[in-house]
Amino acid sequence: ITCETSGSSSVTAMKKVVQQLRLEAGLNRVKVSQAAADLKQFCLQNAQHDPLQTGVSSSTNPFRPQKVCSFL
Amino acid sequence: MATDGLHENQTLASLKSEAESLKGKLEEERAKLHDVELHQVAERVEALGQFVMKTRRTLKGHGNKVLCMDWCKDKRRIVSSSQDGKVIVWDSFTTNKEHAVTMPCTWVMACAYAPSGCAIACGGLDNKCSVYPLTFDKNENMAAKKKSVAMHTNYLSACSFTNSDMQILTASGDGTCALWDVESGQLLQSFHGHGADVLCLDLAPSETGNTFVSGGCDKKAMVWDMRSGQCVQAFETHESDINSVRYYPSGDAFASGSDDATCRLYDLRADREVAIYSKESIIFGASSVDFSLSGRLLFAGYNDYTINVWDVLKGSRVSILFGHENRVSTLRVSPDGTAFCSGSWDHTLRVWA
């Protein structure tokens, strides 16, 4: 399935491809070591605020008590 | 769009060769910065403990396959949609159904809760995205207040409100994504670039600005600028359809789930794939993925009826959850991260914690 707008000549389509690639080639990138360190840092900094990671006790997790009495 | 720098009489052949050389340059640039693997950086990180995650609620009521679900910001209400055309709003604490509406089409593949909690959006084989206000008037006919917002030329595969109830982002089998004004139904921006059906989308966390990521049957994940309609980054490492994309909570990365039986992590600043979550024993497609609040855990639902829980940093699987009796089709972590909900072709939804 193609989703090109009107302007169906191959040359027009190829021009769009080249323009897009030029844009992507010009991106500023960081090293994976830097990016990975930041991902790791974010995880560690937020670990204690992550209920599914730390395992929240029944008293604080609304889903853990099996029977819920709610008066609506 | 200005075509500065491209001569009108530039031939197809020279454009093709420029495209090839640019692709080669892109690969080179990405490779230069590939100095380490994510799991190596995470070697000294403390391993995760044993996980005890169980089904805490089962939501029964759909008459056919559950295709999509979304949480309300109140962390307890859930909207779900099904192949039988029904859209149901549930209170996940009590499992009560609060609202139900029957769509005029079957295969309601997409549904979303409005940020205010006062409306829901849904669509599928009708090629539209419609918004239904939610009221508590028992006499009110929900279907009567329906507002058609988006119109595509093929099925609606995904939808999401932006930061307010006023705008909706859609993805479609027609190969495009689009941004709509809810009130007027006006098309605000369209996003062209996928070479086949777009199956999923996710909005960047609001702090990171106006971008979103989409995944499609062309095996590509594309990141878009919502204002300009421009694709700013594209990733093509999956070997089959991408069924689900979800931003990492910091907004610097996103995960994808694919029919190639893998989930992958792409870092936006490094502009490349940085992790693959796979096992030889996992041979069925991943249909839906979401992160825990810290981004450390990746929950992924699969076509083999299971949910695998991955350690995002170390790349290993930490748990496998059984319970559904057919494909898991949709999965979302609750807004406060205390639980996640999965929907399945077995007609049920399960809340896990």
Beta carbons of A32 and B38 less than 8 Å apart: yes
Instruction: Locate B102 and state its tokens.
Output: 């029957």
pLDDT band at A1 (very low <50, low <70, confident <90, very high): very low
pLDDT at residue A61 greater than cutoff 90:
no
Q: Which residues contact B199 (CB under 8 A, 6 or more apart)?
A: B157, B158, B171, B215, B216, B217, B241, B242, B243, B244
Residue B200 domain-assigned (yes or no): yes
Least confident of A18-32, A55-69, B67-81, B196-210: A55-69
CA-based nearest residue to B253, from B200, B286, B211: B211
Kindly report the three-state secondary structure assignment for every residue of chain B.
Answer: CCCCCCCCCCCHHHHHHHHHHHHHHHHHHHHHCCCCCHHHHCCCCCCCCCCCCCEEEEECCCCCCEEEEEECCCCCEEEEEECCCEEEEEECCCCCEEEEEECCCCCCCEEEECCCCCEEEEECCCCEEEEEECCCCCCCCHHHHCEEEEECCCCEEEEEECCCCCEEEEEECCCEEEEEECCCCCEEEEEECCCCCEEEEEECCHHHCCEEEEEECCCCEEEEECCCCCEEEEECCCCCCEEEEEECCCCCEEEEEECCCCEEEEECCCCEEEEEECCCCCCCCEEEEEECCCCCEEEEEECCCCEEEEECCCCCEEEEECCCCCCEEEEEECCCCCCEEEEECCCCEEEEC
CA atoms within 13 A of residue B337's CA, in its CB half-sphere: 20
pLDDT band at A12 (very low <50, low <70, confident <90, very high): confident
Number of domains in chain B: 1
The predicted model gives A43-64 an average pLDDT of: 84
Q: CA torsion A20→A21→A22→A26, rounded to 10°?
A: 110
Reported as a single tens digit per residue, the pLDDT across B27-75 is 898 899 999 999 999 999 999 988 889 999 999 999 999 999 999 999 9
pLDDT at residue A58 greater than cutoff 70:
no
Residue B13 domain-assigned (yes or no): no
Q: Does the beta carbon of A14 lie under 8 angstroms from any beta carbon of chain B?
A: yes
Beta carbons of A39 and B267 less than 8 Å apart: yes
Residue B179 domain-assigned (yes or no): yes
Q: Does the beta carbon of B3 lie under 8 angstroms from any beta carbon of chain A?
A: yes
- pTM of this prediction? 0.92
Report the pLDDT value the prediction gives residue A37, as an integer from 0 to 100.
Answer: 97
Q: Directed axis angle between helix A10-25 and helix B12-32, to 10°? A: 20
Report the pLDDT value the prediction gives residue B274, as an integer from 0 to 100.
Answer: 97
pLDDT band at A6 (very low <50, low <70, confident <90, very high): very low
Beta carbons of A62 and B338 less than 8 Å apart: yes
Report the pLDDT value the prediction gives residue A8, as an integer from 0 to 100.
Answer: 42
Residue B33 domain-assigned (yes or no): no
Beta carbons of B48 and A53 less than 8 Å apart: yes
**What residues make up the domain containing B344?**
51-350
pLDDT at residue A30 greater than cutoff 60:
yes
Report the pLDDT value the prediction gives residue B298, as an integer from 0 to 100.
Answer: 98
CA dist B238 and B228 (Å) reads: 27
User: How many Å lie between the alpha carbon of B196 and the closest alpha carbon of chain A?
Assistant: 5
* Average pLDDT across chain A, whole number: 80
Beta carbons of B30 and A42 less than 8 Å apart: no
User: How many Å lie between the alpha carbon of A59 and the closest alpha carbon of chain B?
Assistant: 12
Residue B15 domain-assigned (yes or no): no
Residue B115 domain-assigned (yes or no): yes
Residue B207 domain-assigned (yes or no): yes
Residues of chain B with pLDDT under 50: 4
Give CB contacts under 8 A, 24+ apart, made by B289-292.
B289/B244, B289/B245, B289/B246, B289/B255, B289/B256, B289/B257, B289/B263, B289/B331, B290/B246, B290/B331, B290/B332, B290/B333, B290/B340, B291/B246, B291/B247, B291/B248, B291/B249, B291/B255, B291/B333, B292/A50, B292/A52, B292/A53, B292/B333, B292/B337
- The distance in angstroms from the start CA to the end CA of chain B is 50
Position B321: which residue type?
Answer: L
Q: Does the beta carbon of A15 lie under 8 angstroms from any beta carbon of chain B?
A: yes
Report the pLDDT value the prediction gives residue B7, as an integer from 0 to 100.
Answer: 58
Residues of B in contact with A1 (CB under 8 A): 154, 173-175, 195-197, 217
Reported as a single tens digit per residue, the pLDDT across B209-261 is 799 999 999 999 999 999 999 999 999 999 999 999 999 999 999 999 999 99
- The distance in angstroms from the start CA to the end CA of chain A is 50
Report the pLDDT value the prediction gives residue B9, as an integer from 0 to 100.
Answer: 55
Let me know: does B233 contact B193? Beta carbons within 8 Å.
no
Residue B296 domain-assigned (yes or no): yes
CATH number at residue B330: 2.130.10.10
CA-based nearest residue to B160, from B267, B57, B244: B244
The beta-carbon neighbor of A18 closest among B22, B51, B56 is B22
User: How many Å lie between the alpha carbon of B238 and the closest alpha carbon of chain A?
Assistant: 19
What is the interface pTM, i.e. ipTM, of the complex? 0.91
Report the pLDDT value the prediction gives residue A24, as an integer from 0 to 100.
Answer: 87
